[in-house]
Amino acid sequence: MLVPRPPTPALPPLPPGRRKRLGVAIVTGSSGLIGSASVRRFHALGYRVVGIDNDLRGWFFGSEASTTWNRDRLREELPAFDHRAIDIRDDRAVDAVFAEHGASIELVIHCAAQPSHDWAARDPKTDFAVNAVGTMVLLEATRRHCPRASFVFTSTNKVYGDTANRLPLIEGATRFELDASHEYHEHGIDERMSIDQTLHSLFGVSKLAADVMVQEYGRYFDMNTVVFRGGCLTGPGHSGTALHGFLAFLMQCTRDGTNYVVHGHRGKQVRDNIHCDDLVACFEHFAAAPRRGQVYNIGGGRYSNCSMLEAIELCEQIADKKLHWTYQGTERTGDHRWWISDVRQFRSHYPNWDYRHSLRETLSQIHDELSLRARTAIGG
């Protein structure tokens, strides 16, 4: 029997007018970071949750990144959770799940993906098949069996390519920062930034193809679809690895005494970081009042961001250990020097949403969860 998770903070109140329902929520990538947080949240709200996840993450990145530990934990702790080990590229298997539940499906949360720049360059065909074709399979299943359901897609800020690297940045002691006179300085980058004529990385392209298709199904077929273009999505449920899961892997290396490699930008590249539960709260607000073909930049914004050097210092403070790290001067293709998301458009549509988890709190939760897994010999 698995050791239960540590107590979690009380769930935030439901959006105004929200009623508990017993419909079905389908979550892809249900054993991963955002997927498992979605499973827990919507299970608590009264949905019957069907998870689709065949642990491709373990195949992508090796056993240390496998999410089977999280799958087993969800099965044990959540009585109304139904896990299906299905590949999202398998049209027949996916369609069978949707046909089984039909119009009772009220919500589809699509989190399954190949998430790494570097891995995509090694096998572009598989990357595109998982990210783009898999999304098409899910959209078609939704259109056929539950067209009135809300379809939530976790996209990425990498759909903007390296356009952000053209911004006028000033190099400080520990981070790059945007010139104070620039329109993005106060709130971050909004949805008006061009996605064209830029270097995306192959991962960015496959996610962009899915991103635009989700929008199109909303507009063309009159479906309730939304794209969340995330910054760094993080939290204690992450199975971090060298190629994906920045903060989780950084804390793991700090805690375990493993060497960490910083790639380029002198470690001053800035990321905004949003806790998985804060992102899932966005999904909940959208499901309560859905829109069609909507796009939101979402991340920690000015509330929660850090450079690589600043993240290292925070991890060392929390773990009370020094991180062993080395610097690799070659920058990853398409990597952002500075990204902070402007979340004002989402806030304007859903004004009752707000952040609940600071960066320090998030990293502390990651540290405690890693320690728990090590003690119980699950997931690392």
Cβ–Cβ < 8 Å for 35, 27: yes
Q: What are phi and psi of 287, to 5 degrees?
A: -60, -30
Q: Would you call 32 helix, strand, or coil by DSSP?
A: coil
Q: What is the pLDDT of residue 4?
A: 40
HEC sequence for 237-298: CCCCECCECHHHHHHHHHHHCCCEEEECHHHCCEEEEEEHHHHHHHHHHHHHCCCCCEEEEE
Residue 2 has pLDDT above 50, yes or no: no
Lowest mean pLDDT among 26-35, 68-77, 83-92, 243-252: 243-252
C-alpha span between 48 and 51 (Å, rounded): 10
- In this prediction the pTM is 0.92
C-alpha span between 60 and 55 (Å, rounded): 9
Q: What is the pLDDT of residue 7?
A: 38
Residue 379 has pLDDT above 90, yes or no: no
C-alpha span between 149 and 197 (Å, rounded): 34
pLDDT grade, residue 239 (50/70/90)?
Answer: confident
Average pLDDT score over residue span 260-287: 97
pLDDT grade, residue 21 (50/70/90)?
Answer: low
Lowest mean pLDDT among 3-17, 72-86, 204-218, 302-316: 3-17
Which residues, at least 6 apart from 185, have a Cβ–Cβ distance to it below 8 Å?
178, 179
Q: What are phi and psi of 107, to 5 degrees?
A: -150, 135
Cβ–Cβ < 8 Å for 257, 324: yes
Which residues, at least 6 apart from 154, have a Cβ–Cβ distance to it below 8 Å?
34, 109, 110, 111, 113, 228, 230, 233, 279
Who has greater pLDDT, 232 or 335? 232
Tens-digit pLDDT profile for residues 140-192: 999 999 999 999 999 999 999 999 999 999 999 999 999 999 999 999 999 99
Q: Would you call 87 helix, strand, or coil by DSSP?
A: coil
Lowest mean pLDDT among 133-137, 207-211, 376-380: 376-380
Tens-digit pLDDT profile for residues 286-332: 999 999 999 999 999 999 999 999 999 999 999 999 999 999 999 88
Residue 6 has pLDDT above 50, yes or no: no
- In degrees, rounded to 5, the angle at the alpha carbon of residue 265 between the alpha carbons of residues 264 and 268 is 125
* DSSP calls for 96-140: HHHHHHGGGEEEEEE------HHHHHH-HHHHHIIIIIHHHHHHH
Residue 14 has pLDDT above 60, yes or no: no
DSSP conformational letter for 41: H
Specify the CATH class of 24-376 in words.
alpha beta
How is the chain split into domains, by residue range? 24-376
Residue 10 has pLDDT above 50, yes or no: no
Q: What is the pLDDT of residue 5?
A: 43
Share of the chain above pLDDT 90, in %: 85
Who has greater pLDDT, 75 or 9? 75
Average pLDDT score over residue span 7-30: 64
Q: Where are the beta strands (DSSP E) in the chain?
A: 24-28, 48-52, 81-84, 105-110, 150-156, 169-171, 176-178, 224-230, 232-234, 260-263, 270-275, 294-298, 305-307, 325-328
Q: What is the pLDDT of residue 254?
A: 97
Average pLDDT score over residue span 243-263: 91
Cβ–Cβ < 8 Å for 340, 188: yes
Nearest to 318 by CA among 306, 332, 326: 306
Cβ–Cβ < 8 Å for 211, 278: no
Tokens encoding 298: 């979402």
Tens-digit pLDDT profile for residues 48-75: 999 999 999 889 989 888 999 999 999 9
Tens-digit pLDDT profile for residues 344-367: 999 999 999 999 999 999 999 999
Q: What is the pLDDT of residue 378?
A: 59
Cβ–Cβ < 8 Å for 55, 31: yes
